[in-house]
Structure 1
Amino acid sequence: MYIKYAVWGLLILSSLMLLLIVLRNRSSGRLLSALGLNVVVAAFLLYGLNLLSAYTQVDLPINTATIGTVTVLGVPGLLLLVGLKLILI
């Protein structure tokens, strides 16, 4: 039971420290906003692919691994995941 409170306390403390760093340094705020934008675009790309799955018969789960791959690699990462899905399954 105490571990639950410790985890929540650690989460709140780390969030406050991250907010302090972002507010002190403008370049880190730009970096975090660019990363956040890339994550949102990756999620929309995966969601759009899943909407078209009735036509393409390819559906990819939206989880941290797929979003991370598409965030880092972009559209080639999405094509990589589609290729892996078609080859392995």
Structure 2
Amino acid sequence: MILSSLMLLLIVFRSRSGGRVVASLGLNVVVAAFLLYVLNLVSSYTHVELPINTATLGTATLLGIPGVMLLVGVKLALL
């Protein structure tokens, strides 16, 4: 697994646009974590709490604000 991770990093950074892809992904993860944190801060008003774990962070990272709304909808539907 370590070898495959190193090979993936080598391939990504070998191309010229690889650094931009990693930076963009990192920025999306930070924004998604911030959105989930803010949602949990206002949970006393909305009564909706979402845990910040890999599944919710991955969904919010890939889908953005609609992903957070999707997670809230699933949470409310399963209550």
TM normalised by structure 1 equals 0.76
The higher radius of gyration belongs to 1
3-state SS of 1:26 partner: coil
Q: Percent identity?
A: 71
Q: Which amino acid aligns with 2:58?
A: G
Structure 2 residue runs without a partner (length 5+): none
Map of 2:35 onto structure 1: 45
- 1:8-48 per-residue CA deviation (whole Å, 9 max, x = no partner) reads xx54x556545544543220110111011001100000000
Q: Which amino acid aligns with 1:84?
A: V
CA drift at 1:66: 0.3
Q: Which amino acid aligns with 1:58?
A: V
Mark the CA change 1:23 to 1:87 in structure 2 (over 3 Å): closer, same or farther.
closer
1:78 aligns with 2:68: yes
Greater RCO, 1 or 2 (C-alpha within 8 Å, sep 6+): 2
Q: Which amino acid aligns with 2:39?
A: L
RMSD (Å) for aligned C-alpha atoms: 1.5
Structure 1 residue runs without a partner (length 5+): 1-9
Q: Which amino acid aligns with 2:63?
A: L
**Structure 1 residues 31-42: aligned runs within 5 Å:** 31-42=21-32
